Amino acid sequence: MASALMSDEDSNTSLVLSCEHASAWIPAEYKALFRGGEAVVDSHRGWDPGAIQAAERFQTAFACPLFQGRMNRLLIELNRSVDSQSLWSEFSQSLTAVAKEALLRDVYHPYRAEVEAALRGVQARHGTAVHLSIHSLTPELNGQRREFDIALLFDPQRSREARLCETWARQMQARDASLVIAFNTPYKGTDDGLVESFRHHFDEEAYIGLEIEYNQALLIHPSRWQEVVSASVSGFPHSTS
């Protein structure tokens, strides 16, 4: 289920936050699926360490709604379309059609519907909703090192998204000149995901969708992690123009 730390009706900002991979939790009724795979469940494949803590910092700073996934992504992937091959993992692929439909009905669709409802509420009051989806990524994958602290993902064809990310990066680096920021890497900003799905629902005037990826290498040094998160929060632009 999704969780909003406050109602969008209580917010005076245009920002809506989501954190799809906030939890490594597997409900008891599904644990047998993962027997022998506990190490994978607790790894970066199952969830995004640090992401929900960063998201909560944004929520506190901007007094805006925050929605978070409550289950391990290896059970059902909230950040993929229903027709994606990545919706189900090698562990959950064996679920019956009835069990999969129950997860879609009770977990996947309600989460997306709650985020969308919050976006529509913000749009009704402010004209434009800014959606920030917050993630973290492993420092290395398939032999490729991620040599950056933060990656900002956006649709380069949407000029408001591109400008907002450029401003955000500039304001982050004004606070921390050593910060290494990447754009649309190692993933494209238009890859399949929650943000991309909303771009198909809303035009650019109504919706600005961004993703931030924090490098999990920062978690090894808690003080540095806090510095980077602080720079990203304090540097986030208040204007969407």
Selection from 123, 172, 131 nearest residue 151 by Cα: 172
pLDDT recorded at residue 88:
98
Per-residue pLDDT of the chain (241 residues; tens, 9 = 90+): 454 443 444 445 799 999 999 999 999 999 999 999 999 999 999 999 999 999 999 999 999 999 999 999 999 999 999 999 999 999 999 999 999 999 999 999 999 999 999 999 999 999 999 999 999 999 987 778 889 999 999 999 999 999 999 999 999 999 999 999 999 999 999 999 999 999 999 999 999 999 999 999 999 999 999 999 999 999 999 766 5
pLDDT recorded at residue 239:
63
Residues 107 and 62 sit within 8 Å (Cβ to Cβ): no
Q: What is the pTM of this model?
A: 0.93
Does any domain span residue 240? no
Burial class of 148 by CB neighbour count within 10 A (0 to 12, 13 to 18, 19+): buried
pLDDT recorded at residue 144:
82
Convert 49-103 into a string of H (helix), E (strand) and C (coil). Answer: CCHHHHHHHHHHHHCCCEEECCCCCCCCCCCCCCCCCCCCCCCCCCCCHHHHHHH
pLDDT recorded at residue 63:
96
- The CA R_g of the chain, rounded to the nearest whole Å, is 17
Q: CA-to-CA distance for 175 and 222, rounded, in angstroms?
A: 18
Does any domain span residue 180? yes
Does any domain span residue 58? yes
pLDDT recorded at residue 75:
98
Does any domain span residue 123? yes
Does any domain span residue 239? no
Q: CA-to-CA distance for 41 and 50, rounded, in angstroms?
A: 16
Q: How many domains does the chain have?
A: 1
DSSP secondary structure code for residue 164 in this structure: H
Angle of helix 51-62 relative to helix 222-234, nearest 10 degrees, comes to 40
CATH number, domain at 140?
Answer: 3.40.630.40
pLDDT recorded at residue 240:
65
pLDDT recorded at residue 162:
97
Does any domain span residue 43? yes
Residues 53 and 2 sit within 8 Å (Cβ to Cβ): no
Q: CA-to-CA distance for 39 and 229, rounded, in angstroms?
A: 27
Tokens representing 187 are: 């993933």
Does any domain span residue 1? no
Does any domain span residue 241? no
Structural domain including 192 reads: 8-234
